[in-house]
Amino acid sequence: VSVVSVEMQVYGLPPRLAMRFAWAYLKYNKKNVFLLTLVVVAFRIVLLQLRGGRKRRVRASKENDKKKPTDGIKERGYLKKLIRMLMPSFWHTSTLSLLGIVLMQLIRTVITDRLAVIAGRLFKACYLREKETFMQMIKENVFQTLALSATVATLKLITTRLSINWRSMLTRKLHKEYFQQLSYYKLSFVDKRVSNPVQRITEDVTKLCEILPGVLGDLMHCTVEGGYFTWRLGHDLGWGWAAASWFWPIFAVKFVVSIAPDERKLISEKQSLEASYREAHAHVVTHCESIAALGGEDRESEVLSTRFKKLCAHLAKMHDIDWKFGMVAAFARYFGTTIAMILIVGPFFTGKNRPSGSMDSKGEVLSKMRYTATVIINELWAVTSLALCYPKLIRASSYGDRVGKMMAVMAQLRDRADAAGTTHFKEGSCIAFEGVEIRTPAGTLLAENVNFQVDPKTNFLITGPNGAGKSSLFRCLGALWNIPTGVITKPHSAGEGLHGDVFYLPQKPYNVLGSLADQITYPAPSSSLSRKELTHLLDLVGLDYLLNQKYTDTKNWEASLSLGETQRLAMARLFYHSPRFAILDECTSGVTDSMERKLYELCAERDITCITISHRPALKEFHTLQFALDGNQGYSIENCAGAARTRNRIGTVGEEDVQIDELATQTEAGKTYSALPALPKAPKGWQAWGKMSPIFLPGASDPAARKLVIAALLTCSRVLLSDRIAHLNSTTTSQVLTQDRAGFIRQCFLSAFQSLLQSISAPSLTYIANTLSLQWRQAFTTRLLKAYFMKGAFYKVCQVHNQTGMTQRFTSDVSKMCTEVADMFPDLIKPIVEITWFTATMGKHIGWDSTRILYGYAIASLLFLRAIRPDFAGMVAKSQDLEGSFERLHTRVQTHAESIAFFGGHEREKAILDNQWLELEKHLKKVSLQHWWYNILDEFTTRQLPHIVTWMLSWKYAIHYNIKDGVGASMVHDLRWMASAVSHTFTAFGDVLQLDKHLQEVTGYSNRVAETTAWLDVAIRDYDAAVKKASNKTPTGEDTFIGFSDVDIVSPAGVCLVNQLNVDVCHGSNLLVTGPNGGGKTSFFRVLGGLWPTRGGYIDRPVTKNSLMLVPQRPYSVLSTFADQMTYPTKAFNGNAAHDAEVEKKLTSLLEQVGISYLLERFKWDTVTKWEDTLSLGEQQRIGMTRVFFHAPKCAILDQCTDAVSVDVEKKLYELARQSGTTIITIAQRPGLWDLHEKHLHLVDGRGQWKLSSISPLSP
């Protein structure tokens, strides 16, 4: 006995209690001494393991502390700072909300305590059959349960509102810092210490603010309820029992915290993989036309699938860790019920609490025991909940570290920018570089000791090869890049970006989400622009016809206008602001020569000094000085005054240098077509579930089906355990009346065994639900991706029908739907099994009439709650839509960060994001109010009021029970069991009612997923069949390669751009397509490539693989290796040594031919980076032409894909294409290289007219 008691004291049990427990156990269970010894030895081994694990963690922590960051930015330890920021003072709203949570927790605890007293008295009244006392307690019970329902719902409301308020504070704080000192640009393109800034602002902040209030609320609940019930226990049973009640919770918390896995790295990696997967989806949406044109569906599907598989593998690893830890944590909590049994019933076997022989004494003991049971169980569950708070706190800390690190890096970037502003910039009336060194963020030297000065009215032309650093000069001028040495002079030197007196026009203009007037006044508000001024500015650039559209509507103008139209709109923006200096970075590549000339003339009239970046020496006539970079860190400056005026680009053959003979013409306007049919409305409700049932209800051979069966069996086992626990509780209650100590000790060991089973079954059920959710997500994602990339469905949905939020639908909606359905499955099985099991057993005890009362109440409650239920499905759908829009706007800012920085549009973009967040915040608060009043009625109807019905049935049973043994032990056993059984039955009915509400919320996700599936199915199956009248026939002519026969080129809106086009392209006969902006050139490209349907006539085009290749206007870079950029849409290397060596040799030769072999010195073949941000536009266009030469198609359609390279390189590229035997169809704004084409198709006005001519050299 002494040895056993000493061993128990080692684990924290008070000596007196340890001795008493050991003596009692050995006295009545002599045969189990060996078993007890094994248990003690097992606990000793576990303790030693824990100590060893703790030492390893301490050692690892010390090693991590030695690795101090060199840049002053920590990886961890930001949660406390964030909490202090969220609660800056005592009287702040957040602090008051936390005090409100404490108050609600205290009120709930007091009400729970009073309900425990009432329950004890009701139990005594049933035992003694005191009707008056029973009815009095029932009345008070109704009032208390209603108060408890309101308290619980209000507590949820305060917690939810606190979460929303904290998210709002963090979001606005991050927005403020994100848009200061160009942090939004530098985080993505200069400083690489913070990955995925968009995800940190949108997703990490959300999860942090969802977890943190809940954790703090749980800690307060543990403190308030644990402290209160400890006081009550000490007051009623003595402080020795109260102190003993803390032994197991302290050990359990210490035990769980010791073995809890550190999930910081796991969560950080999970967020990184999630962001990578979302980035790939957003990349497809942004570049959908380029991908469709290049035929990259299979390659993009592979990229997405690879990233998704990595994410799934990591999630499976996390689920496995959570399962193993969950079983230990669950045992620590469930074993508390055994401890509770000892503490509850133990005092009633000795001392003054023992029942005497009278019925009144026994009734008093039953009442007191019932109250004590509630007190101790609530205390133990409250305190042991601390163990479950630790993993939640770790998760909150991991998200807090990600957000806090981003804020710390932004603060450091601001400090560096302030220091650089005082060191490397000064204010002046000109733009000047003095000894400036130009380096990329990666450290590559582009130019050194740069010295030049641009005075007002002195136009400055900057030329040089691709990658020489032309645009980089102005990234340094705008403080986007750091300047190692030198001083830059500019107007308003302290300002961010280039705006005010210095205005920037990029080659691909940025269009803000807003009205037509907003495009012109950006970054200023459009309220200052009158209709008259708007008309005048649009007329200057030839865009007055845009006023015929709904120009006041907010729309995505990038998708509505061609490149040339957006460039002319940017010119109107320049004239509106009339700065002193204008930086023109290839900003006229999409307009005509006449429009280009007009730009420079209007700038001269308005005293706007032009600094032009160009490859075309023809622009010398508009400039005074030329600054030429040589690509070898050097430069030269020469005078352009008196430069000869040229008719066309130097080095090209113009229209005047060839003979043109008209072949065909069309002067009639095109007929009117109807717009393409809209995508169908989504199936909703049960129709949506029916569409997805094949995945949620798989066949017998599917692994998901086996998991469903295991989940069902685990759920049934938990129901059986609940039944056995109900019998155990009933038995121990009756043993108190009969003073059966030996039987009580046996029940204690049985309770421990049941706790072990519960600790296995509950986490295992959660693990099965998590793996099932992951498997369903994989199935849905695979199915959606297959449909997404089938027959160009992604392009038709995203570009033709302009459906937004596809990234949100593929990632968040699918994930949340599968998670919610997997969590809901046990909630569906468990109530059915419980209702069936306990109904059958209750019918034998209380009769079927009473059972029908239960069903009647449950059905009435269900009908009542369904009648008053808000539209939760609609709320969820709108929330997801607003969340997706908020994330999409952030992604848009990241994508166009450089243009926004140059324009100084940070305040405008911040206002747009703040407004979007305000709309989302209002909706979330509205939803929380809807949940609040519904939760009051739901909690009262499904959780609290059933207890009253239970007592009424218990009373009915008690008054008809015939006590035969004089003690009533059997009746007490039956009453206690019936109370548990009826409670479980009502809880099951409550779960069914909750399931209906849960189902409505999940339907919001399922409707969106079903809608996406319907869109893709229509795009695949019905789209072409509804509108396509042409057939892809094999050309009948021996030389005819591509033929248009009476083809109407019609936009998706129904506008006929080209009427009855007839043109043949023979092999080896190049075609030049020209026309004004909006004339239908790119539309010709889309129809020929099959991106748009043929609405009239038919097109003969090659049907064999690699016969036709489309090179779009916008260069596309796949998210893959350097080698894959040139072989896209195929992979460069396949692991075969001979094949890989041959490909490498071929790519090296092609890079030399297109003049960018120097890239091999910067990158390896397997280098992976964001290529569209790493390479210059000209380098990207040359890589695009390298793809043509690598695949060697019979025909290549080039849509203005060489306008960023020099004229000599452009001519060389065309000659290489001709030598390779590839027929070229060139779509251009300014006709050039006439001698390399045999036909010319001029699209006149975008209203149907066109003219076809032949091109031949002039006779000598």
Residue 458 Cα distances to 197, 453, 581, 873, 1190, angstroms: 41, 10, 10, 63, 45
- Which pLDDT belongs to residue 506? 81
Lowest mean pLDDT among 127-141, 199-213, 546-560, 766-780: 546-560
pLDDT in tens, 404-463: 999 999 998 888 887 766 678 888 889 999 999 998 887 888 888 999 999 988 899 998
- pLDDT, residue 237, reads 65
Confidence of residue 760 (pLDDT cuts 50, 70, 90): confident
- Rounded mean pLDDT, 918-927: 94
Phi and psi for 486 in degrees, rounded to 5? 100, 175
Q: Model confidence at 720, in pLDDT bands (50, 70, 90)? A: confident
Q: Which of 1088, 1015, 621, 1099 is closest to 796 using CA atoms?
A: 1015
| pLDDT given at position 1170 | 84
Whether pLDDT at 1010 is above 50:
yes
pLDDT of residue 969: 60
Q: How far apart are CA 1034 and CA 1099, in angstroms?
A: 10
Q: State the pLDDT confidence band at 305, using cuts at 50, 70 and 90.
A: very high
Q: What is the pLDDT of residue 163?
A: 93
pLDDT beyond 90 at 41:
no
Q: Where are the beta strands (DSSP E) in 506-602?
A: 581-585
Place 52 in a pLDDT band, splitting at 50, 70 and 90.
low
User: Residue 103 contacts by C-beta under 8 Å, 6 or more apart in sequence?
Assistant: none
Q: What is the band of 709 on the pLDDT scale with cuts at 50, 70, 90?
A: confident
What's the pTM?
Answer: 0.81
- The answer to whether the bond into 391 is cis (omega within 30° of 0) is no
Residue 890: closest CA among 472, 275, 418: 275
- Which pLDDT does position 191 carry in this prediction? 83
With pLDDT > 70 as the criterion, what percentage of the chain qualifies?
Answer: 81
Lowest mean pLDDT among 54-63, 779-788, 956-965: 54-63
Per DSSP, helices labelled H in 789-813 are 793-795, 806-808
Phi, psi of 1251, deg, nearest 5: -145, 130
Q: Which of 162-166, 288-292, 426-430, 811-815 has the highest mean pLDDT?
A: 162-166
Question: Which pLDDT score, from 0 to 100, does residue 1032 have?
Answer: 44
pLDDT band per the 50, 70, 90 thresholds, residue 150:
very high
Is a pLDDT exceeding 50 seen at residue 644?
A: no
Nearest to 1020 by CA among 786, 739, 725: 786
Question: Which of 493-497, 650-654, 986-990 is predicted with the least confidence, judged by mean pLDDT?
Answer: 650-654
pLDDT of residue 590: 76
Give the CA dihedral 1168, 1169, 1174, 1175, nearest 10 degrees: 40
For residue 174, is pLDDT > 90?
yes
| Residues 1205/1213, Cβ–Cβ less than 8 Å | yes
Confidence class for position 159, pLDDT limits 50, 70, 90: very high
Tell me what the mean pLDDT of segment 485-492 comes to. Answer: 87
Task: Give the span between the Cα atoms of 214 and 156, in whole angstroms.
Answer: 9
pLDDT at 649: 43
More confident residue, 653 or 123: 123
Split at pLDDT 50, 70, 90, the class of 341 is low
- Band (886; pLDDT cuts 50, 70, 90): very high
pLDDT digits (tens, 9 = 90+) for 66-108: 444 545 677 778 888 888 888 888 888 888 998 999 899 889 8
Give the residue, 992 or 607, on which the prediction is more confident: 607
How many angstroms separate the CA atoms of 1152 and 1158, rounded?
A: 8
What is the pLDDT confidence band of residue 167, given thresholds at 50, 70 and 90? very high
Q: Which of 237-241, 297-301, 376-380, 500-504 has the highest mean pLDDT?
A: 297-301
For 38, the enclosing helix (H) or strand (E) is helix 33-66
List strands edge to edge, sheet with 1108-1111.
658-666, 1250-1257, 1239-1243, 1071-1074, 1223-1227, 1195-1199, 1108-1111
| Whole-number Å distance between alpha carbons of 1123 and 321 | 38
Whether the upstream peptide bond of residue 1052 has omega within 30° of 0, thus cis, is no
Percent share of the chain, pLDDT over 90:
12
Band (312; pLDDT cuts 50, 70, 90): very high
Mean pLDDT taken over the chain:
80
Mean pLDDT of 391-406: 88
- pLDDT at residue 241, rounded to an integer: 64
Mean pLDDT value across residues 860-867: 81
Give the mean model confidence (pLDDT) for residues 474-478: 86
What 3-state class would DSSP assign to 753?
Answer: helix
pLDDT confidence of residue 658 = 56
Under DSSP, the state recorded for 814 is H
1166: tokens are 């397997």
Q: What is residue 850's predicted lDDT score, i.e. its pLDDT?
A: 65
Please give the pLDDT value at position 349: 63
Q: Is residue 46 scored above 70 in pLDDT?
A: no
Summarize the confidence of residues 955-961 as an average pLDDT: 71
Chain mean position to CA 241 = 51
Average pLDDT value for residue range 1060-1086: 85
